[in-house]
Amino acid sequence: MTRGRIRARLRRSHLYTFGCLKPSTTEEAPHPLNGPGFSRTVYCNQPLLHDKKPVLYCKNDISTTKYNVITFFPKALFEQFRRVANIYFLLAACLSASPISPFSPLSMIAPLAFVVGLSMAKEALEDSRRFLQDVKVNRRKVNRHKGDGFFSPRSWQNIMVGDVVKVNKDQFFPADLLLLSSSYEDGICYVETMNLDGETNLKVKRSSETTMTLDNDEVFKDFTGTIRCEDPNPNLYTFVGNLEYERQIYPLDPSQILLRDSKLRNTDYIYGVAIFTGHDSKVMQNSTKSPSKRSTIEKKMDYIIYTLFTVLILISVISSIGFIFKTKYQAPKWWYLRPDNIEYQYDPNKVGLAGMSHLITALILYGYLIPISLYVSIEVVKVLQATFINQDIQMYDEETGTPADARTSNLNEELGQVDTILSDKTGTLTCNQMDFLKCSIAGTAYGVRSSEVEVAAAKQMASDHEDQDSDLSNFPMPKSKARVSWDDVRKAEEIELETVVTSKGDEDQKHAIKGFGFEDDRLMNCNWLKEPNADDLLMFFRILAVCHTAIPELNEETGVYTYEAESPDEGAFLVAAREFGFAFCRRTQSSIFIHERFSASGQVVEREYKLLNLLDFTSKRKRMSVIVRDEEGSFLLLCKGADSIIFDRLSKNGKNYLEATTRHLNEYGEAGLRTLALAYRKLDEQEYTAWNNEFQKAKAAVGADRDSMLERVSDMMEKELILVGATAVEDKLQKGVPQCIDNLAQAGLKIWVLTGDKMETAINIGFACSLLRQGMKQICITTPVTDSVATDVKQAIKDNILNQITNGSQMIKLEKDPHAAFALIIDGKTLTYALEDDMKLLFLGLAVDCASVICCRVSPKQKALVTRLVKQGSGKTTLAIGDGANDVGMIQEADIGVGISGVEGSDG
């Protein structure tokens, strides 16, 4: 694919957040840089100026090791002599060098040297792996401007502040760079930040308009400039600085900064200048030193050593007292000892000195009460265990070629003491690979295939069908689950078989389409035109095809478009739109082109939608919108987002399908599906023009309140919407998850799942993965809905939650069946109250009495707080499992952290 075609297809400098019709940067006043924290000066394309003070910056090589050649011996020796036993053996070895020792010094020093040497060798081996990884990173190559417009490969470790580098497609950025230009004429590039924040979606970075013309090697021959910016800091999402170029000053912002360890995607190349290198880069500022963790057994062994040492001293003192009495009163009578020529340690006239010398002898003689071989055995076993873990074929992922990696062997024995497992759901229990499965359009539900969760949950409940009438009146299960019949199970099994058993000659291609598991002949092959609400169906498909931030790619072999989307959900929407006959095919700076098919014969019409504004999706907004003008000249706002957000913004005449859609959304949630609502609004040209003027003023503002102004102006437009329908995508369970959780539960481990999904989805995922079982009584704790405007509303809510917790605890205590199992289900809003100081211990007491705990709608911070509460409150060993940046806090808080190399990234 030629560079010109790529540019023509993907040129869209004003696509991302609040980005369309971006005002010129020259209109904005540069940010005033003064005071501490804003002292960095970078001379672009003049790296040698940074070799001397006051701008002597660190080099670009990094080190993540615990030791280096100089510090290894002192640090490693300190680590070894943190152990009480090693201090004792060192003292014993020193005493053995005295002339009164009953053993030769070698017999005491050799075992100590062996134990300490073995442990230090293990530390060196584990640290050498980090060193080799550092060397591999430091020796990566990148093209650096050598001079006279000539670029040549150079190792990352030799990159200096001020160097101009050229990074090619699918390469990592060697340092924190200021984006100067890219292969696209409008100076944009696409960046994958999975190594930084765990997100798989691509971010768009945009160069300054003044430097985007620097798009070939030769123009850098005479390029110079000066950057004055903030000092190194760990904040990934902020940057303040100015660029002085061609006698003018231009402000810089985070959208122009490319962070180290990000990867360039869907862009042939970029030019950038290094601002922060090595340990000054933001990713390294966020890194922590390798901690020295000690296991519970090792700590307990110290207490055992204290006890044994006390017993040793007691025995030696008693022995020495006996020796003093013998020496003073009986030794003079023993003529064969030659009292006239006796040594000082047996001299009856110097019993104090004799007693001290005997005490030292006794301490050495009885010293084997403390076994030095115990430490040798433990160290050898730990190293072998770590080796077995790394070579375990059951923990090898064939798809990615990734084996297990025990980063340290110090905590191996902790794995056998785990009492509570805290796990993320998306990407850990599920695959984070979305399939468009069902949808609700104009109040009608479409899609006949059952989700994996429905099939698995039906099987799980049917396996114990005879117990369905057990008394669950106090903790009722979801109604849809209570009515599962044998017909449902048989139907689910038939559907499952249909998706697996297909003939080779007539294989159903729909099942093989990644991201699309939809089945319903009413919508396929243009049959939707025969439906009674065809206009609403058309609008639904157009919202799917137009309202997004994806990048299309044409597979020239198959002629099918594929998409690089911000999230797996958005990719599934575009694949669904393509299969329904509305294929997103091309995007320019200001337009989106859709191939629309209105007949089964395959006749395609290309329609252009002028992209006027895009209001991007954020976790705070929970929605995204595009404002477009179609070929008829109509102005449309197309919106998709969380149902609760969209429903609050509907107009009076836009709620025709609200009741039916809400019912369908609840059903989809119970089926374990992720849902979004779709809506639109027709705009008057005058209304849009007036709003756009306000929007442009907010964008041109400089200051901390710019984002809040943009949010306010966006809310003015995202109202009076008309509901069209909702989508439901499936996140499939990881292979073997139900069997694994079932085995862990049988072993007596308590399992907590911390997820951002809504309660209905989490409950049904729980049934599908055996976390919830038939006959298990559910205790659901939720925040009561109150319309009260009293000042003590918060206290009333807390009292209600406290009452629910107390009732749940009382129910468990009064349960007469010793084999009864309980499951606690709580949402994030309720958890906010339950984690407060006056309630958290009561909540923990209830939770630890339950076999399973599901926390829904939780934030990353709540995940960490819950983990800390379990670890500190129960005093038992906790293990956290996650695969994304939102799980890092949870993994760090737990006694043992397991990072999974998943779609969202990897934590360790």
Asked whether residue 617 is marked as a ligand-binding residue, the answer is: yes
221 closest CA partner among 145, 273, 131: 145
Q: Torsion over CA of 431, 432, 433 and 439, rounded to 10 degrees? A: 120
Tell me if 648 sits within 8 A of 631, measured CB to CB. Answer: no
Q: DSSP 3-state helix, strand, coil percentages of the chain (rounded to 5)?
A: 45, 20, 35
Q: Tell me the H-state helices in 441-485.
A: 452-462, 479-482
Asked whether residue 221 is marked as a ligand-binding residue, the answer is: no
Q: How far apart are CA 96 and CA 66, in angstroms?
A: 34
Asked whether residue 26 is marked as a ligand-binding residue, the answer is: no
Question: Can the peptide bond before residue 54 be classed as cis, meaning omega within 30 degrees of 0?
Answer: yes
Asked whether residue 674 is marked as a ligand-binding residue, the answer is: yes
With 0-12 CB in 10 A as exposed, 13-18 as middle and 19+ as buried, what is 837?
Answer: exposed
In sequence order, what are the beta bridge partners of 728?
438, 675
Q: How far apart are CA 536 and CA 541, in angstroms?
A: 9
The pair phi, psi for residue 122, each rounded to 5°, is -65, -45
Q: What angle do CA 5, 6, 10 make, to 5 degrees?
A: 120
7 closest CA partner among 196, 213, 268, 202: 268
Distance of CA 189 to the CA centre of its chain: 24
Query: Residue for token digits 């006056």?
Result: 838
Residues in the chain: 908
Q: Round to the nearest angstrom and report the end-to-end CA distance of the chain.
A: 38
Residue 24: other Cβ atoms inside 10 A? 10
Asked whether residue 263 is marked as a ligand-binding residue, the answer is: no
Q: Are strands 418-424 and 750-754 parallel, antiparallel or unpaired?
A: parallel
Q: How far apart are CA 419 and CA 819, in angstroms?
A: 19
Interhelix angle 685-700/706-717, rounded to 10 degrees, is 170
Residue 304: other Cβ atoms inside 10 A? 14
Residue 98's alpha-carbon distances to 45, 73, 94, 320, 364, in angstroms, are 68, 27, 8, 18, 11
In sequence order, what are the beta bridge partners of 582?
596
Residue 625 structure tokens: 């919108």
Asked whether residue 435 is marked as a ligand-binding residue, the answer is: no
Asked whether residue 570 is marked as a ligand-binding residue, the answer is: yes
Q: How far apart are CA 132 and CA 137, in angstroms?
A: 9
| Residues annotated as part of the active site | 424
Tell me if 624 sits within 8 A of 676, measured CB to CB. Answer: no
Asked whether residue 158 is marked as a ligand-binding residue, the answer is: no
Asked whether residue 886 is marked as a ligand-binding residue, the answer is: yes
Tell me if 825 sits within 8 A of 781, measured CB to CB. Answer: yes
The pair phi, psi for residue 141, each rounded to 5°, is -105, 145
Asked whether residue 425 is marked as a ligand-binding residue, the answer is: yes
Asked whether residue 481 is marked as a ligand-binding residue, the answer is: no
Tell me if 232 sits within 8 A of 60, measured CB to CB. Answer: no
Asked whether residue 424 is marked as a ligand-binding residue, the answer is: yes
Residue 308's alpha-carbon distances to 85, 89, 189, 304, 366, in angstroms, are 10, 13, 66, 6, 11
Distance of CA 267 to the CA centre of its chain: 26
Q: How far apart are CA 138 and CA 157, in angstroms?
A: 5
* Residues that constitute the known binding site for Mg(2+): 424, 426, 883, 887
Which residues sit in the known binding site for ATP? 424-426, 570, 617, 640, 674, 755-757, 857, 863, 886-887
Known binding-site positions = 424-426, 570, 617, 640, 674, 755-757, 857, 863, 883, 886-887
